Amino acid sequence: MAYKRHQNKGESPKLDMTPMIDVVFQLLIFFVVTLKQEDILSKLDAARPAASTDERVKEQQQQLINVIVAPQGFIFNGRPMRIQELDRSIERLSGYSKTAMVIIKCTSDSPHAFLIQVLDVCYKHGMTNLSIFSM
Amino acid sequence: MAKEYAQCEIDMTPMIDVVFQLIIFFVVTMKMNQDSNQDIVLEDGKSGQILTADSMPPTTLEIEVDRRGRISIHNATLTERNLRDILRARINKHGNEFPVLIRGDRRAMHEKVRKVMDICTSSGLWKLSFVAVEEHKKRGSK
């Protein structure tokens, strides 16, 4: 008697949902586990002048801000500094001129993280005329 | 068996359609994520311009430098000579105005990153950008 109700439906008889629900849950769990949210990235622009511009750079020495990136930390105006002190110094200098050229000299054994920190500090205070030299 | 499911008269077709759509969507989007070297740990840079897919033109070249100094593009390892050839081919095609992003590991020595910068400079690309992390979202990173 129970079958009578379904006879008019005809073309799709009972479908077993269980395996499908199983599969869907498996997929759901898989994607939840593998999903990893991407970091939001930022970019820091800098120029890398060719070696031939060295002489021109020397002429305008007075407008330059020199930062040396060493393996232990930073050297600014001949004084070793930590990033917080450098941050304050750059902030002070950015009050005078934001277009002054910042020359970042990196020693080859300094970690890349330090260079990024200096670039970040310069960006924070609006200094955009940045050049990276390697030594 | 038949009696237990006697009430069930749902048309499965749209559901199967939706499930397949979802599967295809996730497969396609997941492949995108693994296009770059996931081992590279980036330094924080909260002041930089935020990188979005819209702000970068399709000609953008992203060069990766991992902590040991391995150079790669889209996670394919390159020698210095390969990189030089790729840059030359690109400059011939697009001019030297396309943005170059250097994705350097924070633990990499400057020497290794310098190598990439030197190759770019000698190829005629002076404007370089470094990638940093604006905001950490990844679970369990750092």
pLDDT digits (tens, 9 = 90+) for A20-68: 888 888 888 888 887 777 777 777 877 766 555 555 555 555 577 888 8
- Residue A23: which residues within 8 A CB-CB, separation 6 or more? none
B30 within some domain: no
Domain interval for residue B86: 61-130
pLDDT score recorded for residue B14 = 85
Overall domain count for chain B: 1
Minimal-distance CA residue of chain B relative to A31? B26
Of A37, A41, A50, the CB nearest to B51: A41
**Smallest Cα–Cα separation from B74: which of B44, B38, B110, B104?**
B38
Residue B4 has what pLDDT? 56
Q: Say if residue B20's pLDDT is above 80.
A: yes
Domain ranges of chain A: 2-34, 51-134
Say what the pLDDT of residue B96 is: 79
Per residue in A81-99, pLDDT (tens digit) is: 888 888 888 888 888 877 7
The CATH number covering residue B77 comes to 3.30.420.270
User: Is A109 strand, coil or helix?
Assistant: coil
Q: Is residue B109 part of a domain?
A: yes
The count of other CB atoms within 10 Å of the CB of residue A43 is 24
Q: Which of A8, A28, A33, A39 to mutate to test the interface with B (most CBs of B within 10 A)?
A: A39
User: Would you say residue B7 lies in a domain?
Assistant: no
Sequence-ordered strand ranges (E) for chain A: 40-47, 64-69, 74-76, 79-81, 101-106, 130-134
Quote the CA–CA distance of B83 and B65 in Å, as a whole number. 12
Q: Give the per-residue pLDDT at B32.
A: 60
Chain B, residues 99-118, CB within 8 A of chain A, namely 101, 104-114, 117-118
- What interface predicted TM-score (ipTM) does this complex get? 0.71
Mean pLDDT of chain B: 81
CATH topology of domain A51-134: Nucleotidyltransferase; domain 5 (3.30.420)
Domain membership of residue B126 (yes or no) is yes
CB A74 within 8 A of CB A103: no
